Amino acid sequence: MPMKLLLFFISAVSLNFAGTALATDYAALAAQGYRWVIVNGPYACFKEEDVERIVAHHTDATELDVVQNAACYYLIPGTIAKVISEDPARGISQIQLGNITLRVWTYSRYLSKSPIPDTYGVIETPGDAADPAPATQSPSPSNR
């Protein structure tokens, strides 16, 4: 009986450490500039002005225009993004998403430092999505 108790105790302790080892430190990711998208819509644009326009006058016509002509992308809740720069006065952030190689602008309020599950209930981490390129990479002048 003491041997079974000892084995049970060792198993419980090792399972606890295994769970801790597999856990992701979301606070550390947030400290590195990662955020999770909390909004659904065309709120990631190459130009800051386009983000402000879609938010200020969000109609179906404006949404269609910014997606077709202003090169705006849809944000999907739970997608992980890397914040490249922020403009606190205007409340916007330049971000890089794993599946878009160029940087885009969005409102900072659409990003969370706390993890948000995606459509499948999974919390994305930088290794899950195509990891955004390093912050030293810049878009080509023709795409600005």
Per-residue pLDDT of 39-70, as tens digits, reads 998 899 999 988 888 888 778 888 888 778 87
CA 40 vs. chain centroid, Å, equals 12
Residue 18 lies in a domain: no
Residue 123 lies in a domain: yes
Measured distance CA(137)–CA(132) in Å, rounded: 10
Overall domain count for the chain: 1
* Domain span at 122: 23-137
- pLDDT score for 127: 78
Residue 6 lies in a domain: no
- pLDDT score for 61: 85
**pTM (global) more than 0.75:** no
Residue 105 lies in a domain: yes
Alpha helices in the chain, H assignment, sequence order: 2-22, 26-31, 48-56, 60-68
Q: Which residues are registered as beta bridge partners of 85?
A: 94
Instruction: Write the pLDDT tens digit of every residue in 96-139.
Output: 998 678 899 999 999 999 999 999 999 999 876 554 444 433 34
CB 81 within 8 A of CB 95: yes
- pLDDT score for 142: 41
